[in-house]
Amino acid sequence: MRMKLAATAAMALAALPLSANADGEVNIYSYRQAYLLEPLLNAFTEETGIDTNVVFAKQGLAERLEREGRNSPADVVMTVDISRINELVEKDLVASVDTDTLHKNIPENLRHPEGKWYALTTRGRLIFASKERVKEGEITSYEQLADDKWEGRICTRSGKHPYNIALFSSMIAHHGEAETAKWLEGLKDNLARKPQGGDRDQIKAIAEGVCDLSIGNSYYYGNMLKDDKQRPIAEQVNLVFPNADGRGTHVNISGISLTKSAPNKDNAIKLMEFLSSPEAQRIYAEANTEYPANPDVKPSGLVAEWGDIHPDDLSLQEIANNREAAVKLVDRVDYDG
């Protein structure tokens, strides 16, 4: 049997018919759209004979788990962004998993200290630079985004978006709150327009001449290249891997956690281990234009063409711990104002 899925809005989650007592199944709550998981989960079923059921929602899964309590049918939660993963930990909704396979496959900085989440893929938070108006090598770090030379030349999405908050949290880890506040003020002063839209919209703004630089996740660029209509837009920017010659480029993750109420715990752990394996890592990373979390698996497809990424080895849990401070800094400098 293939993967069963239900793509739902958060308000419609209660209607999803998942069984908490089914044998030979794993029930998955996912912030990542189900069709992106299909090749991966079909491979898992073919290897193990264990069926999978997927609930997708853009938001509200943590609240649903709280509401369902120990009667929840969910075995695992698959998430994007460290803040969403950490929310599950803070709400005490997920359990520790400690297996030799997971520890072997996933580096220490890409997993929770107590095994309450494991990264599955990573994506770089890159700088996109106009091929026409920015010389190669003219900008090489996040810190340089605050330089006066870029005044009126940068576009970003909201400073409060989780992807930016994670980047700002990493800056706090490296420079402290005071220096990060100064940097954030400089970045705001260099904005060409009020923060808006998503990461793809910033690349479009560069193509339209609104700005010369933007910040965005690497997989958005990859997905634009895969789209015939968006490829001409994406091809107007160069990728910059910030701080590649220093501490490394900030990365965020997609990840997985075992729920405390998991009715199919053994099968769920088998899924987690499978997803960390070289075979699954190749399938998942290539399907989503991301980097494998397993360091023994090399990037493939479009991602491989971009060259090696030198990722910041900062613990993602440390980034999560700085989230509240980062949000306060965004408010203090009125970044979105």
Residues making up the binding site for Fe cation:
219-220
Burial of 189 (C-beta count, 10 Å sphere; 0-12/13-18/19+): middle
Beta bridge partners of 128: 214, 239
CA 135-215-123 angle, 5° bins = 110
Burial of 287 (C-beta count, 10 Å sphere; 0-12/13-18/19+): middle
Helix/strand/coil (H/E/C) assignment for every residue in 127-165:
EEEECCCCCCCCCCCCHHHHCHHHCCCEECCCCCCHHHH
Q: Which residue has the tokens 């809005």?
A: 9
Region at 243 (left for phi over 0; alpha for psi -120 to 50; beta for the rest): left
DSSP 8-state symbol, 75: -
Sequence ranges of the binding site: 219-220
